[in-house]
Amino acid sequence: MRVMLINPPVLNGNPIVREGRCMQRKGAWTSLWPPLTLATLASLLREKGFSVLARDYVAEALTVDNVLNDTKAFKPDMLVLNTVAASLYNDLDVANNIKSVNRSIFATAIGLQASGVPDSLLVSPFAVDAAIVGEPDIPVARIADVLSVNGNLNEVEGISYRKDGCTVNTGRVSEFIDIDSLPMPAWEFFNLRNYTLPFSRKPFLLVTTARGCPHTCEFCPIWIYYGRVPRLRSPERIADEIEYDIEKFGVRDFLFWAESFTLNEIHVAGICEEILRRNLKINWMCNSRVDNVNDQMLRLMKRAGCWLIGFGIESGSQRILDSTRKGISLDQIRRTVKMSHSAGIVVVGHVIIGLPHDDERSINETINFTRDVGLDFAQFYCAVPFPGSKLYDDARNNGWLKTGDWTMFEQNRSIVDYPELSSGKIEKLRRRAIRSFYLRPASVWKLMRLVKTRGDMRSLFYSVREFLSWL
């Protein structure tokens, strides 16, 4: 078996980040993220004895001609296609082009779109043969096993596939993979210079620390991918991977990849203490909830190399936070931002404009709150009803969706029209939020503090220009 794993090239439009729940344009952070899922699958399949080619055509700014050349040279039996809603039609076109080389190539789609609406990927007569419903590690490996012996795909849990013109769904997987058993991601397939941090342009990598989230935020679909039960990776295994990345690739900047890094205080302490015990000189970032941290934890994280933490603020209106079942308070946000700064950690707030029950008043409350609460940076997204979220079900049932065009399902656009708030108004208020936050002396000063060399100034100029181009 020969397996080809790809982030498809962009035929028309914008580069899209495809990793877990993160489905956004490159311009949202002026960075593309390293394809952790592809690198992990490549390593897992290679460990099982399959011949593997993995490539990120988006990061390399390559075309479908490059894909076709690779297909002809590698001669894959199986294609694994990483896709999201906003790039769906583009990715189906790429798959069709690949299968024009050899119709017998078995094309499998992974990602949140495949998990939430597998039928959307099985509509073409030729492009995609199967969609993985949930995290892809076990199903992809089992598909490859079955295909290698001409077995029955119905034996593979967690997939939808085409058979005799019909769709067969085998149900969700009955088990999730033990993430400690995963091999080191095969980053050697990718040019790591294509994945750099905003402003500093230093290369960085993603490191899995946990999978699964027990929370029930109504706008989030991640449970259909990683499940609701947190699975924690051992601190020793995490430190092993960091050491491996330092020695093999020379990378010392990391994003710790989990739905919320700080869900378990003992686990966080174990990771930090293992980093310190091994004297790993690294810089790292993570995501968190404001109700899952305390002063002692944050100070230990800082000692272990954490310099930036992203919190899901979502809204500056307590009424909206409560209605979306976020489970946090505005006072918790204020205290946590202050605690993080006291520990010496930069704070990013993730904010959603246009949640159900939002109106112009509540959004203006959010805009004022994000300015006043002390965030160093803020990301403002439009509320998007991604399949798998309660928001998606509510939007469909209540007639809020203004389009069924999957390319519109990305967080720089609004595709919901509420009775009291139109999609156009949501986008206008989002632009107001961005301008209100960043076009003020405090934000400009924080940006300028990042500049230490002439190269930093060029990087800052490039990042700001690219960010503004996507508004």
Residue 382 pLDDT: 95
Of residues 126 and 128, more confidently modeled: 128
Q: What is the pLDDT of residue 10?
A: 85
Q: Exposed e or buried b for every residue in 232-269, given b needs 16+ CB within 10 A?
A: bbebebbbebbeebbeeeebbbbbbbbbbbbbeeebbb
Position 460 pLDDT exceeds 70:
no
Q: Is the pLDDT of residue 455 over 70?
A: no
Look at residue 30 in the predicted model and tell me its pLDDT: 57
Host domain of residue 108: 2-169
Averaged over 298-317, what is the pLDDT? 97
> Mean per-residue pLDDT for 22-36?
71
151, 203: one domain: no
The verdict on residue 180 lying in a domain is: no
**Residue 186 within any structural domain of the chain:** no
Exposure of 146 by Cβ count < 10 A (0-12 exposed, 13-18 middle, 19+ buried)?
middle
Specify if 39 maps to a domain: yes
* Residue 156 domain-assigned (yes or no): yes
Q: Please tell me whether residues 30 and 18 are part of one structural domain.
A: yes
Round to whole Å and give the CA distance between 181 and 371. 44
What confidence score (pLDDT) does residue 24 get?
67
Instruction: Note the pLDDT of residue 450.
Output: 64
Q: Can you give the pLDDT at residue 19?
A: 80
Domain holding 322: CATH number? 3.20.20.70
Domain end, chosen from 169, 185, 206, is at 169
Q: pTM value? A: 0.93
Average of per-residue pLDDT values in the chain: 91
Task: For residues 471 and 336, state if they share a domain.
Answer: no
Least confidently predicted of 8-17, 274-283, 454-463? 454-463
CATH number, residue 89: 3.40.50.280
What would the two tokens of residue 258 be?
């989990």
Residue 187 in any domain: the answer is: no
Range 21-45 average pLDDT: 80
Instruction: Check residues 423 and 200 and name the one with the higher pLDDT.
Output: 423
pLDDT given at position 387: 93
> What is the sign, positive or negative, of the torsion defined by CA atoms of 41, 43, 48, 49?
positive
Closest CA to 280 of 308, 252, 249: 252
Question: Which H, E and C letters describe the chain, residue by residue?
Answer: CEEEEEECCCCCCCCECCECCECCEHHHCCCCCCCHHHHHHHHHHHHCCCEEEEEECCCCCCCHHHHHHHHHHHCCCEEEEECCHHHHHHHHHHHHHHHHHCCCCEEEEECHHHHHCHHHHCCCCCCCCEEECCCCHHHHHHHHHHHHCCCCHHHCCCEEEEECCEEEECCCCCCCCCHHHCCCCCHHHCCHHHCECCCCCCECEEEECEECCCCCCCCCCCHHHHCCCCEECCHHHHHHHHHHHHHHHCCCEEEEECCCCCCCHHHHHHHHHHHHHCCCCCEEEEEECCCCCCHHHHHHHHHCCEEEEEEEEECCCHHHHHHCCCCCCHHHHHHHHHHHHHCCCEEEEEEEECCCCCCHHHHHHHHHHHHHCCCCEEEEEECCCCCCCHHHHHHHHHCCECCCCHHHCCCCCCCECECCECHHHHHHHHHHHHHHHHCCHHHHHHHHCCCCCHHHHHHHHHHHHHHHHCC
Q: Are 301 and 384 members of one domain? A: yes
- 250 within a domain of the structure (yes/no): yes
- For residue 391, name the pLDDT band (cuts at 50, 70, 90): very high
The string of pLDDT tens digits covering residues 193-226 is 999 987 778 899 999 999 999 999 999 999 999 9
pLDDT on residue 76: 98
Q: How much is the pLDDT for 230? A: 94
What average pLDDT score do residues 177-190 get?
96
Statement: residue 456 has pLDDT above 70: no
Q: Is the model's pLDDT at 448 over the cut of 80? A: no
- Do residues 68 and 147 share a domain? yes
Per the structure, the count of domains in the chain is: 3
Segment 119-135 shows an average pLDDT of 89
238 and 149, same structural domain?
no
How many CB atoms are located within 10 Å of the residue 449 CB?
9
Residues 144 and 131 in one domain: yes
Closest by CA to 310, choosing from 328, 334, 336, 285, is 285
Mean pLDDT of 87-111: 94
Whether residue 469 sits in one domain with residue 377 = no
Q: Is residue 179 part of a domain?
A: no
Say yes or no to pLDDT of 320 above 90: yes
One domain, residues 466 and 435: no
Which comes out higher in pLDDT, residue 213 or 174?
213
Average of per-residue pLDDT across 401-429: 93
Same domain, 271 and 332: yes
**2-7 sheet: strands from edge to edge:** 51-56, 2-7, 78-82, 106-110, 130-132, 159-163, 166-169
Q: Tell me: the pLDDT tens digits for 137-160?
A: 999 999 999 999 988 999 999 999
pLDDT tier at 453, thresholds 50, 70, 90: low
Residue 309 in any domain: the answer is yes
* Residues 49 and 16 grouped into a single domain: yes
Q: Is the same domain home to 346 and 435?
A: yes
- Tell me what pLDDT residue 337 has: 98
Of 212 and 463, the structure prediction assigns the larger pLDDT to 212
- Mean pLDDT score, 230-236: 97
